[in-house]
Structure 1
Amino acid sequence: MRIGIVVDSACDLPREFLDRHDVVVMPITLRIGENLIEDQRDPGATQNFYATHLDRKSEDFAESIPYSPTQIEMLFLERLVIDYDYVFCLTITATRSPIFTHAMQASRAILNRYKPIRRALGMTERFGLAVLSTRNLFTGQAVPVAEAVRLIRLGGTPSEIGMRLQHLIEHTHTYLVPADLFHIYKRASRKGDTSIGWGSYTLGSWLDVKPILYCNRDVTSTVDKVRGFETGVEKIFSLAAQRLLAGLEAPSVCISYGGEPVAVTRLPGYRQLAKEAEDNGVSLLISPMSKTAAVNVGPGALSLAFAAKQSMH
């Protein structure tokens, strides 16, 4: 059975990983001020986005424009129902984006319309589709996607993979350290993020106090505050190393950075985390943070996620 995976472009996985495993990416269009920018997880375009400062603090207004139900329906009917027999569509948390809702709406039309397409090509008519909200953001979306890839390669059935992903989604923990608080305060708050209020934004801007943000099961909160970006990064790298030693639910730790990914390897705490990962057979998947993430949390932010029974913070 041919099993495929579809994600939206907010999913922070390396492009090389997505391409190697034929993970299909639904692009998101970003409107920043008067500019329209396409987010297709293209590494060169993403680095250009950061390097040329296309998103400026003067642009208070920003919004994301995800695939519509009709666009998702056409993606499946023109390509995916032909290339695969079963597809998992894994989206960013439904509390921050309508992508999950749009995919659910499209799924009904897809399942009603796919049979004649496959029949005309001489294929067995049966096709299956599961739409899952990862209930998480950015690297937290990436962890179950990486696990789905692994399970498909091991020959798992759709029912086995689906049950495993639903369990993993509940136990995926995402941490994020912003380099600058402006975007979270001005933009993410408009999407329901209450982790940074006016007082935290003002104090943090004056004293370089960075919040460590945490997301699990659709809820984002501040779990700690530290002086300086690198201090925050070192703290979540150390936490991930401890959790790795205690045992993970899936053998991947996903990291994304709002800049050149190679810079991650020079941050404090990375070397120890990389050693623990290598010693314990865990993959570190490092990618540029998506433009979609950056317009909400700001350039220069770092996100890390893993799956475990407990978060340990």
Structure 2
Amino acid sequence: MPELTVAGKQWTVAAGSNLLDALNQSGVPVPYSCRAGSCHACLVQCVDGDVRDSRPDALSPAQRDQGWRLACQCQVVEDVQIHTFDPQRDGQAAQVAAVDWLGPDVLRLRVTPERALRYQAGQHLVLWAGDVARPYSLASLPEEDRFLEFHLDCREPGRFIDAARKMKGGDPIRLGELRGGALHYDPDWHAKPLWLLAAGTGLAPLFGILREALRQHHQGSIRLIHVAHDAAGHYLAKPLAALAAKHENLCVELLTAAEAPPALAQLRLVSRQTQALLCGHPDRVEAFAKRLYLAGLPRNQLLADVFLPRG
């Protein structure tokens, strides 16, 4: 049977064992969120030997050459020595700038990195609070904001959420890998209708992308639809209303979960050139996508990121 070595500790595992499970079950804490190769919270480094990787495309060639792997996507097939991601050594230092509530269930976390972070609207970042890590989408813009902003859904308990609730300005925090998902704003869309459909805190990256589109003076119509569990869940209602009042080409629609199905059934494309961006829970994103396909939206004009539940 293959042998795992981590920080001087050695043990054997069954051939074909999932690397993430083998580490966590043996007392080597490796954080994870999605188990789908999307969040990158379970990043580890193979320093001797290798593993069978089902998602080699999930990391850059440079990262792979350095031995980095996503533990959730790997099987142990030979002896391998692992270096787990150490936020103190491998991460970037940052400081909590502010913590406040945007609604009953949404905590806004603003963070100031020690070194300026180059990012684009729509990307997400792994945050470390001690030895607890979670990936969150950026709601801020590098050109306009002096901080990194994240919107945390606190309806369900979790170790990172519990830590975030206790944070205050000046507290240290570490930043892990910056990751670009499917969501972004392309200047080539300048004259096209742009639809942004968000569920819950899936609004965070789309809020950044909306502001980026407006910053670049997007000329086509922009339609933003936010679906929340109830009216109190529309945590950005006021800033969205302010943007809509300032920009004639922006239409904002706020729907509750009960209102969403009949409203989405009425969606009609004004142009087959429409570009759609979706974000939220997988079930909600699937419902958005199905409705848009039925309305005639070409599949290559739909981009989506999902907030995967912890597996």
| TM-score normalised by the chain length of structure 2 | 0.32
- Larger helix fraction of residues: 1
RCO comparison, higher one (Cα < 8 Å, 6+): 1
| TM-score normalised by the chain length of structure 1 | 0.32
Computing the radius of gyration over CA atoms, which structure comes out larger, 1 or 2? 2
- Larger strand fraction of residues: 2
